[in-house]
Amino acid sequence: MTTKKKIQKIVIVGGGTSGWMAAAALSNQFKDKAVDIRLIESSKMGAIGVGEATIPTLRRFYSKLGFSDLDVLTATNGTCKLGIEFKGWKGDNSSFIHPFGLFGQAVNNIPFHHYFTKLQQSGDTTPFSEYSLGVNLAKNNKFSLPPTKPKNQLEIFDWALHFDANLFGNLMRDYSKGNGVKVTDSKIVHVDLSLKDDSIETLHLDNGEKVTGDLYIDCSGFSAYLIQKVMDTGFEDWSDYLVCDTAVAVQSELVGDPIARTVSQAQKAGWQWQIPLQSRMGNGIVYSSKFIKEDEAISVMLSNIDGKIIQEPRSFSFTPGRRKKAWNKNCVAVGLSSGFLEPLESTSLAVVETAIEKIANFIANKEYGQEEADKFNYAMGCEYERVRDFIILHYKLNGRKDSPMWQHCRDLDIPDTLAAKMAAFKKDGSLIKSPWDIFGNDSWLAMYDGLGFKPTSYNSSIDKFSNAFLTEQLIKMRNGIKMTVDTNQTHTDFLKQYCGYKG
Ligand SMILES: Cc1cc2nc3c(=O)[nH]c(=O)nc-3n(C[C@H](O)[C@H](O)[C@H](O)COP(=O)(O)OP(=O)(O)OC[C@H]3O[C@@H](n4cnc5c(N)ncnc54)[C@H](O)[C@@H]3O)c2cc1C
């Protein structure tokens, strides 16, 4: 692909969340610009219909389309997510929250955690979590929208949504159709490749139609129909690093009001999620089939669900990893077709959205070539690897003793990129920020602290401050956070007031 290919027709294959998100964003970008966008989905095959916890980037995605947070919360039975509570990961009865927000306040431009470490090493036992507004709002199930002009760092927190994936898909579908996206409900049964360069030439549908395009966006889910079955692009398998390979999802009735956090409860050979919506609870277990049988995993999961089960459990097998080239010739894979990492940090839709954003930028002039494909593959590769490293960290630092899987995870070799980050932090609390890392420093700090991985030392330039001075600063920070939390409304009141929650 040496010369640029002009784009008049974009064909999106797949009507799951990623297909409809791609259709919505691209139809918005090319409104009135003579680009024909067509989406092919198969209602007989259906979409996966899970994927209900998000990270804050999703809010940026839909706001560019003109949706407000309250629009989306209301339309999707959504609730607010201030972070993820990890229960049992450090050992039985342990619990900590990874918030979407900051910890503490820098003093003299030196990050807070150095002061914290210094005082801890002098005998202070105040938990790190007391310096995060996000954690304390989440713990107390309080929620209001963050201030648009925070007075200081302590007021900064971010949030995401839990939502019904099918309802969110519908929202994206209606928006896309409103922008003129054409939809065909049919299964692609055969694809012609070009004799010249093996790029995609024609899609043959089971209704007899033939479809051609200038760019094909493969959102066909785990089947990776175009990018893998047809184009044989290849997959980078990360199961040597991440042992979980199966998930079972089930919905239950809500017991009590929905909380403003996702829960990840470590179990014998995996972990169980709880994602509260306004209308029900999403539950599931992710486990390693090498360490536990499906029957036992399901029974562990069901015994930890309070509400009545309202749907048969659905099982998914997966291989963690990513497509070697998400953009191959005239085909770009987005969503499950491009790769998958277990939903421990709710990152799949975030990767969908960053992929779509990049595609939109690269084809903004209605053309593309190998240069754009290479840049996209490089960036997506980095992004997947950084998410992979962050997820491995959870397993590497686990403190569980109830099954051989957890010891196995502690013993596993980790990627050099992760080893370098951990070594730098261990030495003196340094945080290495990698390009394309979806998670910022405070996310890493939350996991290090929550799992008991402490630095040996700290930035020595803070030794000029006395412990008494630092203690006073830290008390002020804690008091500020406590006051904000005490005076905040509850998550339930927020949902009732703004999002149609009936209680
Ligand atoms: C157990 C589990 C839990 C998850 N939890 C989260 C989470 O909490 N947060 C998060 O961000 N993500 C999560 N994910 C990931 C999330 O579900 C997906 O990223 C998201 O749903 C997007 O899926 P998709 O659109 O790529 O694929 P799918 O939803 O599978 O859609 C594929 C589409 O392609 C169509 N198709 C396939 N082949 C053909 C063909 N030959 N012809 C025509 N049409 C075809 C199908 O009909 C369907 O419309 C989870 C995934 C799993 C498995």
Evaluate if residue 435 carries a pLDDT over 70: yes
pLDDT of residue 253: 97
For 51-78, the pLDDT digits (tens) are 899 999 999 999 999 999 999 999 999 9
For 152-201, the pLDDT digits (tens) are 888 888 999 999 999 999 999 999 999 999 999 999 999 999 999 999 99
In the chain, what percentage of residues exceed pLDDT 70? 100
Evaluate if residue 107 carries a pLDDT over 90: no
pLDDT of residue 108: 86
DSSP H/E element including 250: strand 246-252
Residue 2: pLDDT band with limits 50, 70, 90:
low
Evaluate if residue 462 carries a pLDDT over 70: yes
Residue 321: pLDDT band with limits 50, 70, 90:
very high
Structure token digits, residue 178: 């409103």
Please name the residue whose Cα sits nearest to atom 38 of ligand 1.
Answer: 220
pLDDT of residue 83: 98
What is the atom index within ligand 1 of the atom nearest the CA of 275?
8
Q: Is the dihedral of CA 393, 395, 396, 397 positive or negative?
A: positive
- Please list every protein residue whose CB sits less than 6 Å from any atom of ligand 1: 13-19, 40-42, 45-48, 50-54, 165, 187-188, 219-221, 223, 225, 247, 249, 284, 316, 335-336, 343, 346, 348-349, 352
Structure token digits, residue 258: 């929905």
pLDDT of residue 180: 96
Please name the residue whose Cα sits nearest to atom 50 of ligand 1.
Answer: 51
Whole-structure pTM value: 0.97
DSSP H/E element including 286: strand 281-287
- The residue assigned the tokens 């040996």 is 456
pLDDT of residue 191: 98
Please name the residue whose Cα sits nearest to atom 13 of ligand 1.
Answer: 51
What strands lie across the sheet with 36-41, from one edge to the other? 182-185, 36-41, 9-13, 215-218, 331-333, 327-328
pLDDT of residue 1: 59
In the chain, what percentage of residues exceed pLDDT 90? 93
Q: How far is the CA of 167 from the centre of ligand 1 (A)?
A: 14
Please name the residue whose Cα sits nearest to atom 14 of ligand 1.
Answer: 51
pLDDT of residue 120: 97
- Amino acid letter for position 117: T
Evaluate if residue 33 carries a pLDDT over 70: yes
Q: If 0-12 CB within 10 Å is exposed, 13-18 middle and 19+ buried, where does residue 32 land?
A: exposed
Nearest-angstrom CA–CA distance, 415 and 321: 13
pLDDT of residue 154: 87
Nearest-angstrom CA–CA distance, 244 and 257: 31
